[in-house]
């Protein structure tokens, strides 16, 4: 029996009926041409042969002397975790995303290991899908993507391996990662608030500097300058999931044309889409929306430890011209990077802790409705660079399904896959009407930069 570590405990404590704290992934795949009509049934039967779950998929929660612990589930029942579903005809992507929305809305049962897997057949054109959800206390977004990579292969003849049967790997941040899980960084910042209290003077100086700089430099993103918006409300437990692939070649061309990075273009796409969405609803704030974006602050060649910080990026949604919006976003990102360059890694964590602890307390207690550290979460997770196969089926898309939270009703997470960037948008269904329109607006935002 092992006590739950402080960061993972944070995800458990944050969970409420309106705020499930699991991450997920959706794989869309096309079976081989000779697969036969019973391919999905045979696939499920093969997967159910892997009856022995490996850690963490065999671990359940148990409370001992008031402390939450992980313990091995001695009564593990695979059929309570793995399900076979079929879409009604014609099985359009719309119906698939609606099903994932519904599945992602429900809480995981804490009396058993905190994960579920669904094989879904009947997708249009003979395709199948795999949707997996796992509590964030077990894996973060990066770990979930690596899990997806481990159950697929570049070899179409590779044998099937069930995700829950994979032997565990050491949890670490790899050197060269440029992004991490937004929520992991957020919870880590809050959990380290007291640990880095010794940096209080430096942090206070930096916070005051950011406030002063904001008065003289409109590109500088300071603490609590984000406006109140439609996205910054308490949420319900109902979810809407939207997903789309965008070609990396188009995004690279835009980046080259404007001497920007791929991530700059992604933020500009998001800013354009959010502006158009809020304009249509007649709810666009006069001040620009601010995105919370995780970035690496690693300064050595090590491959261990969590060295992810968060920057606040100005999405310039108050500007009509897409090039002006891109320029302002790039400048704000560079300002944030320069700020972190002045600080040690401990001071960076302390700065994050101060900002995010104050933001979280304000959301929870409603101290000042006008204070808002950010409006939306935008996270980018590295994915497979080459086309993959799952039990002989060609993987056509790998889409992240993340977590909206109170005060941030929309989460935009994307990962790379082969020649695409795969966007997964998850939001509160009640708070954000017609959220799926953002997919078309993202495409229009990219067109404006190409």
Dump pLDDT digits (tens) for 248-277. Answer: 999 999 999 999 999 999 999 999 999 999
pLDDT tens-digit map of 275-291: 999 999 999 999 999 99
* Residues 128 and 93: beta-carbon distance below 8 Å: no
Instruction: Select the more confidently predicted residue: 198 or 371.
Output: 371
Q: What is the pLDDT of residues 151-190, one digit of tens each?
A: 999 999 998 889 999 887 654 443 334 445 566 655 555 5
Question: Would you state the pLDDT for residue 372?
Answer: 79
pLDDT at 296 over 70: no
267 neighbors 291 (Cβ within 8 angstroms): yes
pLDDT of residue 450: 92
DSSP state of 11: H
SS3 track for 307-341? CEEEEEEECCCCCCCHHHHHHHHHHHHHHHHHHHH
Residue 138 has pLDDT above 50, yes or no: yes
Bridge-based pairing of strands 22-30 and 393-401 is antiparallel
Name 333's Cβ contacts closer than 8 Å, sequence gap at least 6: 263, 264, 267, 293, 311, 313
> Do residues 183 and 400 lie in contact, with contact meaning Cβ atoms separated by under 8 Å?
no
Q: Is the pTM of this model over 0.85?
A: yes
Q: Where are the alpha helices (DSSP H) in 56-181?
A: 93-105, 141-151
Residues 6+ apart with CB under 8 A from 113: 53, 56, 57, 58, 59, 60, 73, 76, 81
Side-chain-side CA neighbours of residue 49 (13 Å): 8
Q: What separation in angstroms does the CA of 126 have from each of 92, 103, 132, 228, 385? A: 11, 22, 20, 45, 25
- CA 285 to chain centroid, in Å, comes to 25
Distance CA 426, CA 413 (A): 8
Tell me: pLDDT of 244 over 80: yes
Distance, in Å, from the CA atom of 206 to the CA atom of 215, rounded to the nearest integer, reads: 15
Is 243 within 8 Å of 440 (Cβ atoms)? no
pLDDT at 305 over 60: no
Average pLDDT over residues 370-381: 85
Task: Report the C-alpha gap between 266 and 271 in whole angstroms.
Answer: 9
Q: Which residues is 309 bridged to in the sheet?
A: 295
User: How does pLDDT run across 356-365, given as a tens digit for each residue?
Assistant: 666 665 555 5
Give the CA distances from residue 160 to residues 13, 150, 238, 383, in Å, rounded to whole numbers and listed in that order. Answer: 36, 11, 33, 20
Determine the pLDDT at residue 433: 95
Residues 347 and 254: their CA atoms lie apart, in Å, by 35
| Alpha helices (H) along 344-449 | 345-365, 437-447
Considering only residues 354 and 327, tell me which one the structure prediction assigns the higher pLDDT: 327
Mean pLDDT of the chain: 85
pLDDT digits (tens, 9 = 90+) for 396-426: 999 999 999 988 999 999 999 999 999 999 9
Q: Considering the candidates 136, 196, 318, 335, report the single residue annotated as catalytic.
A: 136
> Residue 339: pLDDT band by 50, 70, 90 thresholds?
confident
Percent of the chain scoring above 90 in pLDDT:
63
pLDDT digits (tens, 9 = 90+) for 60-87: 999 998 899 999 999 999 999 999 999 9
**Three-class SS of residue 47?**
helix
**3-state secondary structure at position 217:** coil
Give the pLDDT confidence score for residue 223 in this predicted structure. Answer: 67
List, in order, residues 6 or more apart from 384 with CB less than 8 Å away: 149, 152, 398, 416, 417, 418
Query: How many residues comprise the chain?
Result: 450
Tell me, what's the pLDDT at 350?
A: 66
- How many helices and strands in the chain, by DSSP H and E? 11, 15
Kind of pairing between the strands at 67-72 and 59-64: antiparallel
Tens digit of pLDDT for each residue in 194-215? 554 455 556 566 656 665 655 5
- Per the annotation, the verdict on 136 as an active-site residue is yes
pLDDT, one tens digit per residue, over 89-136 is: 999 999 999 999 999 999 999 999 999 999 999 999 999 999 999 999
Mean pLDDT calculated for residue range 297-305: 43
Instruction: State the Cα–Cα distance between residues 82 and 162, nearest whole angstrom.
Output: 10
Residues 424/391, Cβ–Cβ less than 8 Å: no
pLDDT of residue 328: 95
Give the DSSP H/E element, type plus range, for residue 12.
helix 6-14
Q: Average pLDDT, stretch 137-159?
A: 85
- Asked whether the beta carbons of 233 and 409 are under 8 A apart, the reply is yes
How far is the C-alpha of 338 from the C-alpha of 163, rounded, in Å? Answer: 41
Per-residue pLDDT, 77: 96
């Amino acid at each position: 029996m092992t006590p739950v570590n402080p960061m993972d405990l944070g995800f458990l404590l944050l969970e409420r009926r309106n705020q499930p704290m699991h991450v997920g992934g959706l794989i869309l795949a096309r079976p081989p041409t000779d697969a036969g009509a019973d391919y999905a049934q045979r696939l499920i039967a093969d997967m159910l042969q892997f009856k022995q779950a490996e850690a963490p998929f065999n671990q359940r929660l148990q409370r001992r002397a008031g402390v939450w612990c992980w313990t091995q589930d001695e009564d593990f029942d695979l059929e309570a975790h793995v399900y076979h579903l079929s879409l009604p005809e014609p099985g359009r992507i719309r119906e698939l995303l609606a099903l994932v929305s519904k599945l992602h809305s429900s809480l995981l049962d804490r009396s058993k290991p905190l994960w579920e897997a669904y094989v879904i057949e009947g997708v249009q054109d003979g395709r199948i899908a795999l949707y997996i959800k796992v509590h964030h206390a077990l894996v973060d977004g990066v770990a979930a993507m690596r899990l997806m990579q481990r159950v697929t292969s570049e070899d179409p003849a590779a044998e099937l391996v069930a995700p829950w049967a994979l032997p565990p790997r050491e949890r670490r941040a790899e050197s060269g990662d440029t992004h991490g899980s937004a929520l992991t960084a957020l919870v880590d910042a809050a959990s380290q608030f007291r640990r880095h209290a010794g940096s209080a003077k430096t942090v206070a100086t930096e916070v005051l500097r950011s406030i002063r700089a904001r008065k003289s430099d409109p590109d500088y993103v300071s603490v609590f300058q984000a406006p109140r918006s439609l996205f910054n409300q308490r949420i319900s437990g109902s979810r809407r999931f939207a997903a789309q692939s965008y070609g990396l070649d188009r995004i690279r061309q835009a980046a080259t044309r404007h001497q920007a990075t791929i991530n700059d273009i992604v933020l500009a796409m998001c800013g354009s889409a959010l502006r158009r969405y809020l304009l249509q609803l007649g709810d666009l704030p006069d001040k620009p929306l601010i995105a919370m974006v995780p970035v690496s602050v690693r300064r050595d060649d090590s491959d261990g430890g969590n060295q992810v910080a968060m920057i606040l990026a100005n999405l310039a949604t108050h500007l009509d011209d897409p090039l002006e919006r891109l320029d302002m976003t790039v400048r704000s990102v560079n300002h944030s990077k320069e700020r972190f360059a002045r600080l040690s890694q401990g001071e960076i964590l302390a700065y994050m802790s101060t900002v995010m602890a104050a933001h979280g307390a304000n959301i929870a207690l409603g101290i000042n409705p006008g204070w808002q550290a950010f409006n939306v979460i935008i996270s980018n997770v590295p994915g497979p660079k080459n086309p993959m196969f799952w039990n002989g089926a060609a993987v056509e898309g790998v889409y992240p399904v993340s977590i909206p939270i109170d005060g941030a009703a929309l989460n935009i997470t994307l990962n790379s896959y082969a020649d695409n960037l795969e966007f997964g948008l998850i939001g509160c269904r009640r708070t954000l009407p017609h959220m799926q329109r953002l997919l078309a607006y993202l495409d229009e935002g990219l067109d404006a930069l190409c």
